[in-house]
Structure formats: C-alpha cells, structure tokens
Amino acid sequence: MTIEGNDRGLVVTEADDGFHPPTGDDPTWIETAWFPLWLPGRGVSVHTRVWFRPNEGRQGGAVTAWTGENRYLAHDGWDDALETPPDLRNLHLANGFHLECLEPLHRYRLRHRSDRVELDVEFEAIMEPNPVPPEESPGMFDGHLEQPGRVRGRIRLGSEWSDVDCATVRDRSWGPRTMRPGLRLGNAHGTTLDARSFFVYVNPDDDGRDVVTGGYWLADGRAARLVAGERRTELDGDFPVSVVVEATDALGRRLRAEGRCRNRQSVDAGHDLYAVLNLVQWDIGSGDAGWGENHDIWSATDWVAAGRAPLGRR
C-alpha cells in the first residue's frame, strides 16, 4: 500500500529490519526498536523497547507496564555491554528477550520472560512502514519509521496472565541523538481493529498552537501523508485529559480524532528531558474504537519555567 504524498526519495526497505552501522564516531548514535501494546479494558499500557549505542559499547531496553497515574505494574529493564553488532532480525539477549522478524517489514514476534513480566506476542502490519523525514524531529534521528498493525498473544504481569489483541504501532529509529535546548515536540496516534489509523507529529508555533508537521492517515484502504492540521489538548492541571486532532491529508481528506486519556506516565527521562505519555481511547469515525497514545516531550528547564512541578524519575 503506497502512502500517497510522501517524498519518493524517502523509502523503507527490507534492509531496515537489520542493524544500521554508525556512520561516524558520535557517542550519541543510538538505534531503537519499540513495540507498544495495550490491555484496553484495564487501561494498561505495555512498552517493549530495545536500544543499542554501538559507539559506547552499550545495549539496553525494558518491558514496562503501567496504569492510572504512574502506577507501575511490572518493569524489567537492562543495560549491558554490546560486544558485537546485533542481529535485529533474530535478536536473542542473555536475559531471555527475543525479537524475531517473521516476514520482512510485516510480521514480528516478541518474547520475554522474567519474574516480573512474561510475554509472547506477534505484531502484524496493516500498512507499509511510514518513513519520517529527519526535519520533522531535528537532531533526533537519521532514520525513523512507524507502522500501524495488530498485536496478538499473551502477557503475564506479576502472576496474572492476560490475552492480548489490540491495534497499535511499531517504531524504529537510528542515528545521532542530540537534545537541542528548548526542545518541545509531540505526537499522537491511534489505530482500530478495522484498519483505520493515524499518526501526527506536532510542534508548537509562536502562538502556542500544536501544529501538525507530518504523519499519515489510513482510511478506506488508502494511506496518505498528513499535510496540515492542529492538535488541541484539554488539561487538568499540568496533564492532558482529552485530545482532539484535526488534519488534512495529501488526498484532501479530513481527519478528526477525539480522544480521552486513560492513563499517564510522566517522567524525568534525564538529559534535561521530560516525557508525558497517555494511553488514549480514540473516536476516529469508524465503528470500532481506536487506541493509541498522546506524547509530549519537553525540555525539563522549560517545563519548570512554565510554572509546572518538576517530574520524578521512574
């Protein structure tokens, strides 16, 4: 499925399932793979993420689950030495984490087991990967993609098992990661089980409006780049409780997504970076509720200067 309106020179190939060797010796070079999933009926988010810093000789990641306001249900994280370039098509880590590409750019299986959390799930895409132009998040990526899909399988949080069947996205990125002063970025995404999906990147303008700078809209079997729009957020104190996204795609179609925030993770991520994430239940104009997230990334300095209370580490 072609994403209409995208730059034809910006493509994703099967090679992008593999590891991307650094193009220089910048110590901030990082490659990541992120697969989030949800237990919607319980308002639970689960993030599965691995990262590699080859120029520093480190690798790490985590499987983390939370609900409510920063109420963590499970967390298994790691930070280890990276001896050789990883095989991201069939990644086996010593702690039991396993990421396997079953079908290039389309199907992936994730397995992990620890005392805290265990999972065995499969992601299947509903659209080709969407490549993100580097200028949409300057200094953050050389290569970046996201892709909507469906995750099915099982997960254990503590001693409790749950079946997983949810619509979500996956995300891959690689390149030097430089946090510029005054950083302020955001995104929102939602996907339904009946194959409608959107992902918007936003940046505040001089008037404080969250202007859509890119992303995609998948509906009625056609996908197109988003070319204009706005995100509006209702706050309770410092944090979102509802979100509305209105945008136009390259085909002239209108997207309107109305969302209610179902949980929150708000953390000091280090390096002068604050992150606020919400699980969101979306109405995006189909018979099936959409689920996804709302993200805000702030410079910690600017967050506090705006009169907001400092955030704590996870």
Cβ atoms within 10 A of the Cβ of 282, count? 26
Cβ atoms within 10 A of the Cβ of 312, count? 9
Lookup: tokens for 195: 């194959």
Confidence at residue 25, expressed as pLDDT on a 0 to 100 scale: 95
HSE, side-chain direction, 13 A CA sphere, residue 42 = 18
Ordered DSSP codes for 49-110: EEEEETTTTEEEEEEEEEETBTEEEEEEEEEEE--S---TTEEE-TTS-EEEEEETTTEEEE
Beta bridge partners of 72: 66
Q: In this structure, are residues 162 and 38 in contact, taking their beta carbons and an 8 Å threshold?
A: no
**Which residues contact residue 13 at a Cβ distance below 8 angstroms, ignoring those fewer than 6 apart?**
none
Confidence at residue 125, expressed as pLDDT on a 0 to 100 scale: 98
This prediction has a pTM of 0.95
Lookup: tokens for 60: 């790490």
Question: CA–CA distance from 266 to each of 61, 68, 71, 72, 114 (Å)?
Answer: 18, 11, 11, 12, 25
Residue showing tokens 């995208």 = 6
Q: Do the bridges between strand 222-236 and strand 3-4 make them parallel or antiparallel, or are there none, so unpaired?
A: parallel
Listed range (12-21, 103-112, 136-145) with the worst mean pLDDT: 136-145
Separation CA 167–CA 93 (nearest Å): 27
Confidence at residue 137, expressed as pLDDT on a 0 to 100 scale: 66
Cβ atoms within 10 A of the Cβ of 69, count? 10
Separation CA 233–CA 241 (nearest Å): 8
pLDDT tens readout for residues 107-122: 999 999 999 999 999 9
pLDDT at 139 over 70: no
Q: Tell me phi and psi for residue 40, to 5 degrees.
A: -60, -40
Separation CA 19–CA 22 (nearest Å): 9
Cβ atoms within 10 A of the Cβ of 178, count? 11
Q: Is 8 exposed, middle or buried (0-12, 13-18, 19+ CB in 10 A)?
A: exposed
pLDDT tens readout for residues 252-299: 999 999 999 999 999 998 878 899 999 999 999 877 789 999 999 998
Domain annotation for the chain: domains and CATH numbers:
30-177 (2.40.370.10), 179-314 (2.40.370)
Can you say how many angstroms the Cα of residue 298 is from the centroid of all Cα atoms in its chain? 16
pLDDT tens readout for residues 224-251: 999 999 999 999 999 999 999 999 999 9
Question: CA–CA distance from 289 to each of 94, 167, 242, 257, 262 (Å)?
Answer: 38, 10, 15, 11, 13
Separation CA 154–CA 118 (nearest Å): 8
Separation CA 223–CA 230 (nearest Å): 19
